Amino acid sequence: MGERIDINRIARDMFILHKGEPYKVVDYEHVKPGKGQAFVRVKAKNMKTGNVVEITYKSSDTIELADFEQRFAEYSYNDGDFYYFMDKNTYELIAVPADAIKDKVGFLKEGIDAVVYFYQGQPIGIDLPKTVELKVVETEPARDTAGGGTKPAKLETGLVIQVPMFVKEGDIVKVNTITGQYVERVNK
């Protein structure tokens, strides 16, 4: 059993257990209705599935903190089943199962910084910087750029995103790792 705390001490980025599953608190709101008991509405991300759920606690509830550890690492390589990250403090390789980070692999290129999350000593997920810069390796030639619009572009990691018409092969683009959307062209 993890440590239990009063629900009113909840904070963003805290790791909690809910129905035996580890969650990371994304957001929360204390609600004091005119009638009835006050409660806390918590938005939390399941660290195993990546799903975000809303959980409601009475203001008198306690919550259990999850046995979590986070380590700062740098992405090295993958062998299909695992993605390997080098711990920035110990330089040891951390093998993260591919199915634990399937929604993030399109943003991974060698040397990118990440936070690796461990639950009960096992790596179960990662967080990446909010944006990453990736090279466009395949896209249609620019057509009429005056009218706006977008076209698909394949990036160096294999990820395909929609980009503005003026983006061409060889360009470096900034991509939001949360939405998977184009942010801007950042040619050096």
pLDDT in tens, 51-81: 899 999 998 999 999 888 899 999 999 998 9
- Does the structure show a pLDDT above 90 at 108? yes
Average pLDDT over every residue of 102-107: 90
Q: Which of 18-22, 52-56, 116-120 has the highest mean pLDDT?
A: 52-56
48 contact partners, CB below 8 Å, separation of at least 6:
21, 22, 100, 119, 124, 125
Question: By the 8 A CB rule, do 88 and 116 touch?
Answer: no
How is domain 131-185 classified at the CATH fold level?
A: OB fold (Dihydrolipoamide Acetyltransferase, E2P) (2.40.50)
Q: Do domains 68-127 and 131-185 have the same CATH topology?
A: yes
Average pLDDT, the chain: 91
Q: Which residues pair with 136 in a beta bridge?
A: 155
The position carrying tokens 């299909």 is 80
pLDDT in tens, 139-185: 998 766 566 789 999 999 999 999 999 999 999 999 999 899 999 99
- Report residue 158 as tokens: 């294999």
* More confidently predicted of 118 and 2: 118
Q: Domain extents for the chain?
A: 4-65, 68-127, 131-185
Please state, in angstroms and rounded to a whole number, the distance separating the CA atoms of residues 136 and 186. Answer: 11
Average pLDDT over every residue of 118-145: 88
Question: By the 8 A CB rule, do 161 and 167 touch?
Answer: no
Q: What is the pLDDT of residue 114?
A: 96
Average pLDDT over every residue of 115-130: 91
Closest CA to 112 of 90, 130, 136, 138: 130
Please state, in angstroms and rounded to a whole number, the distance separating the CA atoms of residues 51 and 28. Answer: 16
* Range 154-157, long-range pairs (CB < 8 A, 24+ positions): 155/106, 156/109, 157/105, 157/106, 157/107, 157/108, 157/109
Q: What is the pLDDT of residue 182?
A: 96
Question: By the 8 A CB rule, do 124 and 70 touch?
Answer: no
Q: What is the pLDDT of residue 188?
A: 59
- Report residue 123 as tokens: 């790596």
Q: What is the pLDDT of residue 141?
A: 85
Q: What is the pLDDT of residue 144?
A: 65
- CATH number of 68-127, picked from 3.40.1390.30, 3.30.465.10, 2.60.120.260, 2.40.50.140: 2.40.50.140
- Report residue 118 as tokens: 């461990």
Instruction: Read off the pTM.
Output: 0.78
Q: Which residues pair with 39 in a beta bridge?
A: 31, 58
Report the SS3 class of residue 45: strand
- CATH number of 4-65, picked from 1.20.1250.20, 2.30.30.30, 3.30.70.20, 3.30.365.10: 2.30.30.30
